[in-house]
Amino acid sequence: MNKKIQLQDLGNRDYKSTWEYQEELFKDIVDLKIKNRREELELETPNYLLFVEHPHVYTLGKSGDLENLLLNEKQLEAKGATFYKINRGGDITYHGPGQIVGYPILDLENFFTDIHKYLRFLEESIILTLEEYGLKCGRSEGETGVWLDVGTPFARKICALGVRASRWVTMHGFALNVNVDLGYFDNIIPCGIRGKGVTSLQVELGVEKVDEDEVKAKIIKHLTHLFEAEFV
């Protein structure tokens, strides 16, 4: 059982190439697990957390509704944005500069075999991080992610989640709005949820810019505790 997680900060990187990189790491872990079982080996499987910031991009989950994208191809081009239909859960979301995207590629058999618990732990790491900035956040029943003012007309999402898992190996993950341009969310119905807003840490704190490296360090701290992991 390997509880070490290899941290890789990829900086600003194209969505497609990052997705392909995730798929490579994901496949390597799955293939190793198959080999272990077939040949009765006990080789350790690796775990990864990728931090990345993407250029403007909209992604639609496998069960999402394309009508939640409010732009056509020419309008996307005018916005300097791209679009991909991908293999995670969830509906449509936006990624862009000023957003911290985290892709945990974990063999959950190194930690626990419970996808529901996994999602709640990802949410909890963000909730605890935002509490350190004085924000009271929580979950919205039936909706993944992290929210402010849940159950009120002012409910707004600050972090989206969407994952894929196979043979207890995960990919995709979370997107936390830190210094992001929220105007790009006006071009979609975020996560297919009507009538609820989107916000960022920058907006909620009323500051010019939030230190993203500081936010990442806090997320890692809470993931370390929740997963009883070691980041290397």
> What is the set of active-site residues?
191
3-state helix, strand, coil in the chain (%, to 5): 35, 30, 35
Is 139 labelled a binding residue? no
Is 93 labelled a binding residue? yes
Is 184 labelled a binding residue? no
Is 80 labelled a binding residue? no
Residue (of 232, 110, 101) closest to 167 by Cα position: 110
Is 138 labelled a binding residue? no
Is 224 labelled a binding residue? no
Q: Residue 171 and residue 29: Cα distance in Å, rounded? A: 11
Q: Which DSSP helix (H) or strand (E) runs through 143? A: strand 143-148
Is 173 labelled a binding residue? yes
Q: In what order do the strands lie in the sheet with 82-85?
A: 82-85, 57-60, 92-95
Q: In this structure, what are the phi and psi dihedrals at residue 4, rounded to the nearest 5 degrees?
A: -85, 135
Is 38 labelled a binding residue? no
Q: Residue 97 and residue 85: Cα distance in Å, rounded? A: 20
Is 165 labelled a binding residue? no
Would you list which residues are annotated within the binding site for substrate?
88-95, 160-162, 173-175
Would you list which residues are annotated within the binding site?
88-95, 160-162, 173-175
